[in-house]
Structures are given as C-alpha cells and as structure tokens.
C-alpha cells in the first residue's frame, strides 16, 4: 500500500429517505458506515472531497473518516451509487475495519515492462495481447494492501504465451484468493483475433436473422389463426 494516508471528514445526519436530495443540492453526499455489526452510522460528506477520496482509494485503500464529535474510524469503500445521466455520486457505503484484522479487496492489475519499454515483446513484434482480468481478490492486513499488483509482461513473447494469476508479483503479506489458474493475459496472432471476431459477428448476425424469421413466422401464424376464427 502507498504511504499516503487518505482522510475524509464527515458529519452525522438526521435527514433520510427522499429528503436526502436536499443534501445533494448543497454539495453534500449521504453516506452509510457499517460499524462492525453495530447500528450503521448515517452521515454526510462534502461532494468534492468525496470525489477525491474515491479517486485515490478505490475499493482497496483504507480511508480515515474524521469527525469533530466522534473518534476517527478506519473504513473501506464498499459500494458507490451514481446518478446515471449526470454521472454524479449520490450515495456511498463504507465498511468499518480493524487495523489488526485482514480484509478482502479487489486490487487492480497492471503490466510491468523493462525500463525503456512501454509494451510487451509480443506487442513490439506485431502480435496482440488480450487482458482477461482487470483485478484480483486478495486478503491482507489493511496497511499491507497494495494499490496495484503487477505481472511481468516481458514474458509475453510468442503466440500462446500467457500469464496466470499464479504468476502475479505479490509480497508474502498478501494472499491471492482469485483462482491461481485463471488467465490474466494471453498472446494471439492478429489473424486469429480477426477470425474470432468475424465468427462472433457472424453468430450475432445469424441470431438476429433467426429472431426476425421467428417474428415473421409468428405473424404468419397469427394471421392464419385470425382467418380461421
């Protein structure tokens, strides 16, 4: 985990239900803090501060919630709700955690190259690398959770080369829960990718045509039934 401590100030709230719209109009976002099996805490935070914290923490970095009236709480983001049209945050759920107890978190994956490289040997040779996973589930103490997990992309050289979850670069403090045999990234010939895309497009087209035929047949059946009646 990075050394940066992420903090967010909050205030408890009494406004609930549909009335929380009032909070959003004044730049506040309603949040809920699940508190170790105790009664959940209803609170509100500044929208601009929350946006910054979500960008920094994601769902894998502990956040220190601070309040003038309560003790600091260590939490992690569990769920974020957005307003679809405006893409604004409307609600966030936090899980309170203990610093001395392991937690599970989804950690983003990134390729790692040799200094001076910005692509794998396969890509530099004109081959295609397809990434199958964007993140993996891990377990670790909160202060040991990494911000990102890397894989050695320099091992991707020839067609059929692949990286599995078991090949990820992790410390002994982190336990990977995702299936170790699951593929992270694979190398393909461009022609193989093109053939697969064409086959998929053909299958979709056939599916559409079949649907249209079925609809046409249904109309014919309905017309026959009408005449018979």
Q: Are 168 and 134 in contact (CB under 8 A)?
A: no
- pLDDT tens-place string over residues 77-105: 999 998 877 678 999 999 999 989 999 99
pLDDT at 226 over 80: no
Amino acid 92: pLDDT: 95
Q: Are 62 and 102 in contact (CB under 8 A)?
A: no
Tell me the pTM: 0.75
What is the span of the domain harbouring residue 80? 6-96
How far out from the chain centre does Cα 108 lie? Answer: 8
β partners of residue 89: 82
HEC profile of 135-157: EEEEEECHHHCCCCEEEEHHHCC
Task: Using a pLDDT cut of 70, give the percent of the chain over it.
Answer: 86
Mean pLDDT score across all residues of the chain: 86
User: Do 120 and 75 lie in a common domain?
Assistant: no
Residue 67 maps to a domain: yes
Amino acid 1: pLDDT: 58
Residue 169 carries which DSSP code?
A: B
- pLDDT tens-place string over residues 180-203: 999 999 999 998 778 777 777 766
Residue 217 maps to a domain: no
Q: How many residues does the chain have?
A: 229
Residue 33 maps to a domain: yes
Q: Which residue has the higher pLDDT, 3 or 64?
A: 64
Amino acid 227: pLDDT: 39
- Which CATH number goes with the domain that contains 81? 2.40.240.10
């Amino acid at each position: 985990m990075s050394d940066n401590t992420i903090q967010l100030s909050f205030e408890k709230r009494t406004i609930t239900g549909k009335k929380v719209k009032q909070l959003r109009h004044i730049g506040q976002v309603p949040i809920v803090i699940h508190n170790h099996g105790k009664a959940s805490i209803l609170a509100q935070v500044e929208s601009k501060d929350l946006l910054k914290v979500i960008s920094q923490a994601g769902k894998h970095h502990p956040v220190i919630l601070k309040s003038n009236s309560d003790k600091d709480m260590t939490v992690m983001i569990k769920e974020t709700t957005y307003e679809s049209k405006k893409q604004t945050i409307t609600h966030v759920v936090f899980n309170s955690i203990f610093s001395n107890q392991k937690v599970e978190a989804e950690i983003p994956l990134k390729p790692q190259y040799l200094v001076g490289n910005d692509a794998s040997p396969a890509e530099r040779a004109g081959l295609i690398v397809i990434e199958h996973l964007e993140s993996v589930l891990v377990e670790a103490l909160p202060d040991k959770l990494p911000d990102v997990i890397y894989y050695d992309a320099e091992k991707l050289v020839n067609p059929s080369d692949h990286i599995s979850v078991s090949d990820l670069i992790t410390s002994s403090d982190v336990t990977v829960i995702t299936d170790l045999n699951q593929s992270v990234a694979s190398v393909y010939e461009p022609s193989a990718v093109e053939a697969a895309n064409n086959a998929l497009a053909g299958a979709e087209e056939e599916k559409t045509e079949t649907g249209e035929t079925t609809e046409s047949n249904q109309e014919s059946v309905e017309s026959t039934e009408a005449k018979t009646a």
